[in-house]
Structure 1
Amino acid sequence: MSNPSTATADTSTQLLKSSITFFHIVFMVTAAAAPLVVVSAYIPISIAWGAGVSTALTYAATTLILLVFTVGFAQMAKRITSAGAFYTFTTQGLGKPTGLAVGLTVMSAYSMISPAIAGGFGFYTALLLETYLSIKVAWYWCSAASLVLMWIISTFRITYGAKILSVLLIVEVLIIAALCLTTTVAGGAEGQMPHVFDPSGWNAAPAIGVGFFLAFWSWIGFETTAIYGEETMDPKKAVPRATYIAVFTLGLFYTFAAYAGLVGFGSNSTTQAETLVDQYFFELADIYTFHGVRVIMDFLVVTSFFACSFAFHNNATRYFYSLGRDGILPKALGRTHAEHKAPHIAAGVQAVIALFTVALFAFGGGDPLLHLGTWLPIFCTLAVIGVQLIVSLAVIGYFNRIGRDEPLAWWKTLLAPALGAAAQSVVVFLLLKNITFLADSETLVVKMIPFYVIAIAAVGFVYALYLRGSHPERYAMIGKLHDDELEDALVDTDYVGEYEDRART
């Protein structure tokens, strides 16, 4: 192992400390949720074939479930700061084999979300170019160009990407908020509809499992606040706070948007959603605002897809970096740029994987929305929700070990995580039950999606056991606490044996 004091600039492994603020995290995580994409695509689909007129209630219920999950997640984030996030949390709570299983699973999920969303970017960009400039370009060239641009931007300081995402997010949120507010204030087609928040409406929903899947998919990425902990000012306060704000504000925003969408067409909402689908809110813009708003939304949908794909490119990059730094994946992935301290090699690997994935679907004749933009998200959502379930259990395991001395600790580190795990279990069940309906396909590739997730997790678990027997020094690095975290762990817990072994290693 090289001595840090003599390491060359080319072998830097440190991220840029204290380079981003609390607000940067909020913006990046919210951009990953792609509010305009959710409003323009997922909410109408839920109204038509998912939760029906209970779509707003479904988003409100999902907000509560994720807030409960966040309680335990925030307690871990206050004590552990790591670019590995879920991977490190699970290792500390449930052990190295389970931790590595989670690490590979969530890394794979985030790695696939970027090309999945890039497919949507390519489709809408090609449509935009043809509509407004009469230029015909295949969707996959647009997708590929966006992924290369993400690669370039991500080799610079994280603040560059944060600023870009912040600007794109603010613009799209303002335009959606203005549309929804105008529609609601105008009274929509038939006046206000408070009855859509009656839980009995779920009984008449077309497919409530589909509705909850779409709602959870709308939040995918909120938990990545912890990924940026090593690059954040005062991470132990900023990360938990940013997570709560991201979950709550997105929940409020989505619930209000879904309600406005229902009010806009009144009792005809379901029928209109089935007919209009992704043009649902664009039609509302023409009815309740002016045509210029629709034109602006046409452009913002493209930037929203880009922001979302870019955010997950960064997320996957930091998991590659974390596993590379720990020596689980090739160590080159754990290197950072000499000047910008960005994980540039990991970013390049992620970009290549995303480009290959897009090419695979393009040469196979896949549709960018129906196949690339649907099949991969199902895999990603199932993987992330499953990981969140395990992380909830890891919170319980971690605090069982170190003790619960704070006020309300039983709620924060035991009851809330248990409730979160139970809720995630229900969502996993609903997703598995409706998987072929969601994919609109009965093909073997789709039916095998749950097995892909299980297989990736199994590889991580078995690989950890192999390292334990054959390479104990590498096994000791799984989920390692870096820098001051090791000292904090020694101070904060009585379970010091494992950490002393790590320090000697």
Structure 2
Amino acid sequence: MAEQVAERAGSEQASGNLRGNLGVASIVFTVLAFNAPLGTAAGFVPVLIGYGNQDGAPSTFIVVAVVLTLFSVGLMAMSRYMSSPGAFYSYIVAGLGRIPGLGAAFTAFGAYTAFCLCSYAYGGIVANAMVHGLFHGPDISWWIYSLVMWVVSTILSMLHMELSARVLGVALVAEVVLVLLWGLRVFFNGAPEGVSLHPFTVSAFTSGSLPVGLLFGALCITGFEAVAVFRKEARDPVRTVKRATYGSVAVMCGLYAFTAWADLTAYGHTAVQHAAADPSGSFVSSVHTYVGSTASDLVTVLLVSSVFASIPAVQSIAARYLYTLGSDGVLPRSLGRIHTTQGSPYVAAAWFSALCLIGIIVPAITGLDPLRVYSSCAAIGSVCLVVLMFATSLAILTFFHRDSTHTATRLEAQVAPALALVGIGGVLYLAITHMPDIIGAGRTAADLALAFIVLLAVAGAGLASYLRAQRPEIFARIGRQDL
């Protein structure tokens, strides 16, 4: 099936390097689309306010921004010595070795697969809610809408990234403009108790449940780590990737801090109660109050486009992991083929799309609750990324400690990565201990999810060990930098 889909993308096949002319804006658009800013603003931020550190939610995003910036300092310093588009996979190979590196690659692929299935499930839910609730259309199964999204996303994921970024950018701009318009109306059109800077104080930051607040704050800022995946397709790999990384962190953290502050201001002293009572509806209700019914209806429509826009972004990232593993020879080499006209890893994209199709069909046939699919996959994907960031921080420290010829500063090679390691390690600890809260299920289900994450890493490391013993020529290519 995947090969047939791939053939439709173009008759010419070639193995070779990814190529492109992506600028900072194109990559940032893709990362922000992956993050689904309207979905995060409407779904995750109210949860952080209602069940996290409450009034301190805006300052939580500032703290998260500091940790991710520290992480990015070391990442960008090490990127000067990297050329493979395998992102965390390649960094961990360079710093910790091929066996943990391949374990990281499997973990990363599992993360993006989980995110994609999460988006398909949630996308089907919100699309049906829009058609049936807003437009009074038929009430049909979620998976029908998911299949429509799958067809379009599959096509986009096999096209040139510049074209996909333009498509994503249209929906993204509309989302951000609407969130900003709502926030400005809240601040300038008479909030019930006025505008306060209290959410940025230490007492507010430490209110409520700080551990849950920090955890959900970190989980809101997913996607920035994918910037390095597009390194080979960037106009100027060093400068473009650096600017896109810092830009993505700044835009996401700034937007969500602004959203949380506006949310607290809109409801006044009852904000926490509103968020806890109706985390999925408080944002839309606030938009209706401050901007009007047309805007709240538009939020419903754009929420669908927000989730939909995230799917081809995730598929593009996952396809590039498969491309790297195929180019290395770890997986079938056909995955390393590049389309001669689109310059995209179309075979890898086709195979990943086929995997996603299975992920839609199985829940549809078995009758699994799409909300459970959404929450479980979101939790697994998020924790996988935190694990990868922790391992990457350790890899950065090890890489610069081992290579005495590097030209990185002490801040880049030691201080920033060490501080990031501590911060991300804290988030990882919170993720493990609060897994039932993240996944929305009991301890048993949470333990099974954690076991699955461990299984991914062990499977990758086990394959690397096998290759070292039986296929040393392929083992030597793991994480190579001559792509």
**TM-score with structure 2 length normalisation?**
0.94
CA contact 2:160–2:343 (8 Å) conserved in 1: yes
Q: 1:349 aligned to 2:351?
A: yes
Instruction: Give the drift of 1:202.
Output: 4.4
State the partner residue of 2:137: 134
CA distance in 2, matches of 1:187, 1:133: 34
- Where does residue 379 of structure 2 map in the other structure? 378
Give the equivalent residue in structure 1 for 2:469: 469
Question: 2:24 matched to which residue of 1?
Answer: 22
Partners of 1:54 and 1:197 within 8 A in 2: yes
Which segment is superposed worse, 443-452 or 280-289? Answer: 443-452
Partners of 2:190 and 2:482 lie apart in 1 by: 55
How far 1:288 moved relative to its partner?
1.2
Amino acid at match of 1:24: S
Equivalent in the alignment of 1:168? 171
Distance (whole Å) between structure 2 residues aligned to residue 44 and residue 13 of structure 1: 46
- Counterpart of 2:204? 201
Q: Which residue pairs with 2:342 in the alignment?
A: 340
1:357-404 deviation line (CA, Å, top 9, x unaligned): 2223333333323x1111111111111111101111111122123336
Q: List aligned pairs for 1:94-109, cutoff 5 A.
A: 94-109=96-111
1:429, 1:238 → 2: CA distance? Answer: 33
8 A Cα contact 1:12 1:338, kept in partner = yes
Cα distance change on mapping 1:323 and 1:480 into 2, 3 Å:
same
Task: Confirm or deny: 8 A CA contact 1:100 1:460 kept in the other structure.
Answer: yes
Deviations 1:261-295 (A, max 9, x none): 00000100011112332121111112111221111
Single out whichever of 143-152 and 239-248 deviates more from structure 2: 143-152
Please say if residues 165 and 307 of structure 1, whose CA atoms lie closer than 8 Å, have aligned partners that are also in contact: yes
2:261 pairs, out of 237, 247, 259, with 259
Q: Does 1:60 align with 2:39?
A: no
- The partner residue of 1:110 within 109, 112, 116 is 112
Is the Cα–Cα contact under 8 Å of residues 15 and 342 in structure 1 kept in the other structure?
A: no
Identity of aligned residues (%): 26
Partner of 1:183: 186
Shift of 1:11: 4.6
Judging changes above 3 Å, is the alpha-carbon distance between structure 1 residues 187 and 429 closer, same or farther for their aligned structure 2 residues? farther
Tell me the distance in 1 between the aligned counterparts of 2:458 and 2:25: 37
Q: Distance in 2 between matches of 1:401 and 1:233?
A: 31
Change (3 A) 1:171 1:448: same
> 1:192 maps to what in 2?
195
Aligned to 1:296: 298
Task: State the match for 1:496 in structure 2.
Answer: none
> What is the alpha-carbon distance in structure 2 between the residues aligned to residue 44 and residue 192 of structure 1?
18
Show the 5 A alignment for 1:441-460: 441-442=441-442, 444-460=444-460
Partner of 2:388: 387
Correspondences of 1:213-252 after superposition (within 5 Å): 213-252=215-254
One-letter amino acid matched to 2:312: F
Q: Take 1:216 and 1:387, find their aligned partners in 2: how far apart are those partners?
A: 14
- CA 1:365–1:444 in structure 2 vs 1: closer, same or farther (change >3 Å)? farther
Cα displacement (A) at 1:412: 0.7
Contact preservation (8 Å) 1:210, 1:438: no
Give the corresponding residue for 1:488: none
Q: Secondary structure at the match of 1:337?
A: coil
Q: How far off its partner does 1:203 sit?
A: 4.2
Corresponding residue SS for 1:374: helix
Unaligned residue ranges in structure 1 (runs of 5+): 1-8, 484-505
Whole-Å Cα distance in 2 between the matches of residues 297 and 220 of structure 1? 22
> Structure 1 stretches (4+) deviating beyond 6 angstroms?
none
> 1:170 Cα shift?
0.9
Once the two structures are superposed, residues 85-134 of structure 1 have per-residue CA deviations (whole angstroms, 9 ceiling, x without a partner) of: 11111111111111111111111111210110121111111111112142
- Name the CA distance, whole Å, in 2 between partners of 1:474 and 1:103: 15
**Residues 1:311 and 2:313 are matched in the alignment:** yes
SS in 2 for 1:40: helix
CA contact 2:56–2:206 (8 Å) conserved in 1: no
Which amino acid in 1 is paired with 2:15? T
Task: Classify the secondary structure of the residue corresponding to 1:19.
Answer: coil
Q: Is 1:396–1:414's contact at 8 Å kept on the other side of the alignment?
A: yes
Report the secondary structure of 1:236's partner residue: helix
Q: Is the 8 A contact 1:12 1:341 kept in 2?
A: no
1:278 is paired with a residue of what secondary structure? Answer: coil
Question: Aligned letter for 2:449?
Answer: I
Q: Distance in 1 between matches of 2:192 and 2:46?
A: 17
Report the equivalent of 1:490.
none
Post-superposition offset of 1:10: 4.8
Deviates more, 1:350-359 or 1:26-35: 350-359
Correspondence for 2:4: none
Task: Tell me if the contact between 1:78 and 1:237 (Cα under 8 Å) persists in the aligned partners.
Answer: no
Alpha-carbon distance between aligned partners in 2 of 1:36 and 1:289, rounded to the nearest angstrom: 16
Looking at structure 2, the residues matched to 127 and 460 of structure 1 have their Cα atoms a distance apart, in angstroms, of 39
Query: Which residue in 2 is equivalent to 1:428?
Result: 428
**Which residue number in structure 2 is paired with residue 486 of structure 1?**
none
Contact 1:20 1:158 in 2 (8 A): yes
**Alpha-carbon distance between aligned partners in 1 of 2:370 and 2:242, rounded to the nearest angstrom:** 35
Residue 445 to residue 360, structure 1, CA distance change in 2 (3 Å): farther
CA distance, structure 2, for counterparts of residue 427 and residue 128 of structure 1: 35
CA contact (8 A) 2:199 2:205 kept: no
- In structure 2, C-alpha distance between the alignment counterparts of 1:186 and 1:214, rounded to whole Å: 30
Deviates more, 1:196-205 or 1:233-242: 196-205
Letter in 1 for 2:197: P
Q: Structure 1 pair 84/16, CA: closer, same or farther in 2 (3 Å)? A: closer
Q: Secondary structure at the match of 2:279?
A: helix
Q: 1:145 aligns with which of 145, 148, 156?
A: 148
Superposed displacement of residue 77, structure 1? 2.2
Q: Distance in 1 between matches of 2:14 and 2:106?
A: 24
SS of the aligned residue for 1:204 comes to coil
What is the SS of the residue equivalent to 2:83?
coil
What count of residue pairs does the alignment treat as equivalent?
472
Structure 2, gaps ≥5 residues long: 1-10
1:46·1:214 contact (CA, 8 Å) conserved in 2?
yes
Q: 1:481 to 1:383 in 2, by over 3 A?
A: same
- Per-residue CA deviation, residues 439-469 of structure 1 (Å, 9 max, x unaligned), is 2211633322122111111121122121111
Which TM-score applies when normalising by structure 1? Answer: 0.90
Distance 2:312 2:202 in 1: 37
Deviations 1:279-327 (A, max 9, x none): 2111111211122111111111001001112211111111011101111
CA distance in 2, matches of 1:10, 1:472: 32
> How big is each residue's C-alpha offset from its partner over 1:130-159, in whole Å with a ceiling of 9 and x where there is no partner?
121422221111112212211112222122
